[in-house]
Each structure stands twice: as structure tokens, then as C-alpha cells.
Amino acid sequence: MKAAAIDLGTNAFRCLIRDIDSNNNNEMKFRHVVGLGKFLDKNNRLNLPNKYYNALDNIFNIIHQNYVKKIYVVGTSVFRDSINKNEILLDFKKRYHQKLNIISPGIEAELTSLGVNSLFVNPESDKIIVDIGGGSTEIIFMSQQKIINFYSLDLGVVRLYKKFNEINIFSFEKIKQIKNFVKKIIQESNISLNKIVKYQIVFNSGTSTTLAAISKNLKNYDSKIINQANLSITETYRMLNMLANKTAKQRLLLNGIEKGREEVIVYGIIILTTIMEYFSKLQFLVSDKGVLEGIFEKYIEI
């Protein structure tokens, strides 16, 4: 039987289709960069654009073409923030005959950790998992495969884009201004390492997978190459400087940048490097696995 997990994020919509009866876990994974958070107005009303429906129509067309029998859909930060979420839920149910489950930051952290942990040979190792989204950033502390603490920060690539309104060349002063803002939010969150001493830091997000794809000069995205890629903060700073000095259109010419990511990638890298500095880490691992795989483990493959 085929099943599908759908993650509707503030920036990207993702879908994973898997044959849960197959021993080799035949699967199909794809995404659409929608930038839905840009359509949340100053009163927190979410005005659904055509690209929202176009992306969902495409997702559900592929699901129906693959004879998927079981579907689980989650929505994250942008839906949590919207004041008109109830009418959005009704509209979704009417159009697609599925329930859209708006999940809490805690459930989002749990699903992310389940997905990332499936990558590791030794999942019991201590780690900090960071998921930089469009509207929020989850920082998850794990020890012995258990979440011992998590933080949900009002930091995201779309949220920063709406605040600073820059998509092309970022001046040194603009980067410094954004970085100081990010640093202030992180510091005010009073993040404590608790009992974690020796740990890996793993980034699960479009920001980190894009960085890995650029680093590997990938013309075509390949999750097998991306997963567990190890990047240094030195190389990440180099990529930040290179991308900040290009226009959005120029960024799209680079291998590893997907359409829709070119406008917000600089914001994501600023969040990532500031978090690395906060934890005084020089290396990080990249995960392409997260909420989608977590949905299968928690809600589907049971």
C-alpha cells in the first residue's frame, strides 16, 4: 500500500510518497517553494495566493496518479500564526477531501527529530537538531533518542524577508543589521545546553540542503549526496559572501539553487551561522530528512 506525508511549511510544501509494504521502502519525494508566509498580512490574515492552490493541485494529482491510499497532512508556523486558520481548514477539506493538521511547535520538533534520527547509524548519540523554516526555527536537544528540551524561535527566512525587505545584493551593513537582530532573538531565548556536553549539530532545512548542494556543485538534487554532508562554518561564510553579492537572478544561475529559494537563502545562512556561533561549533551535518519521515513513523507506519 502506498502512503503519503505532506508538510505545508511557511516557505516550501513537501511531499513524500512511500510504499509501506515494500521492504526497500520505494519512495518519491518532491517539493514546491511557495513562500506562503509572504502572504500573511500585518493583521496575521493569510491571503491564499494562486501558487498555494497550484502547488497543492500538483501534489494531489501526483498522489492520485500513484494510487496512494493513506495521506497525512501537516501545516506549521504560517498556519499557526493566521487568524483565519479555521476557514483555511474548511477550504482545504472541501477541495482536497483531507484534513489539514496544524501542528504545535512541540509536535513539529518531535517529527523533525524522528526523521533526522533515521539517518544515523548510532541514533542514540547526543545531538542538537536545528530546523530553519520560513516562519520559525526549532532547536531540538536530543540524548539517547529522546528530546530533552526544545526551543521554537520566531525566526524564519520568510519572516526575515518581510522585516528587512531585501532580495538582491546585501551590503555589509545590511548583513550586520540582520545578524544582530537574529542574535538578539537567540540570546533572549535563553537556550541552555542542559546535560548535553559532547554533541553533533545537525541542520535540517532548505537552507542547509541548499548549502550542501552548492558546495557539491549539484546540477540535480540528490538526497543521497546531501544527507550527512559535513560543512564547515568557514566554507559557509564563503558561500554567504558569494551569495550576498549576487542578485536573486544571478543566484539562480548557480548549481544547487532551486527556483524560489534564491530570494531567501541569504537570510537562512545568516540564521544558520549565528546559531553556529552561539554554540561555538565549527562543523555541522546536513539532513534532508525531517518532518515527512517523522510523519511516517508517528502517524502512518504504525
Residue 18 confidence (pLDDT) above 70: yes
As a whole number of angstroms, the distance between CA 181 and CA 138 comes to 17
Mean pLDDT over 185-196 rounds to 82
As a whole number of angstroms, the distance between CA 112 and CA 118 comes to 10
Task: From 3, 131, 130, 7, select the one nearest 79 (Cα to Cα).
Answer: 7
Residue 143 confidence (pLDDT) above 90: no
Report long-range pairs for 251-255 (Cβ below 8 Å, ≥24 apart).
254/214, 255/213, 255/214, 255/217, 255/218, 255/219
Parallel, antiparallel or unpaired: strands 283-287 and 100-102: unpaired
* Per-residue pLDDT at 26: 77
* pLDDT, tens digit, 9 for 90 and up, residues 97-133: 999 999 999 999 999 999 888 777 566 678 899 999 9
3-state secondary structure of 39: helix
Spatial contact of 276 and 201, defined as CB atoms under 8 Å apart: yes
As a whole number of angstroms, the distance between CA 49 and CA 15 comes to 19
Mean pLDDT over 221-234 rounds to 91
Spatial contact of 284 and 54, defined as CB atoms under 8 Å apart: no
3-state secondary structure of 72: strand
Residue 200 confidence (pLDDT) above 90: no
* pLDDT, tens digit, 9 for 90 and up, residues 33-46: 999 999 999 999 99
Share of the chain above pLDDT 70, in %: 96
CA separation (Å) from 225 to 31, 228, 240, 274, 282? Answer: 18, 8, 21, 25, 21
Residue 227 confidence (pLDDT) above 80: yes
As a whole number of angstroms, the distance between CA 206 and CA 12 comes to 8
Residue 157 confidence (pLDDT) above 60: yes
Spatial contact of 201 and 130, defined as CB atoms under 8 Å apart: yes
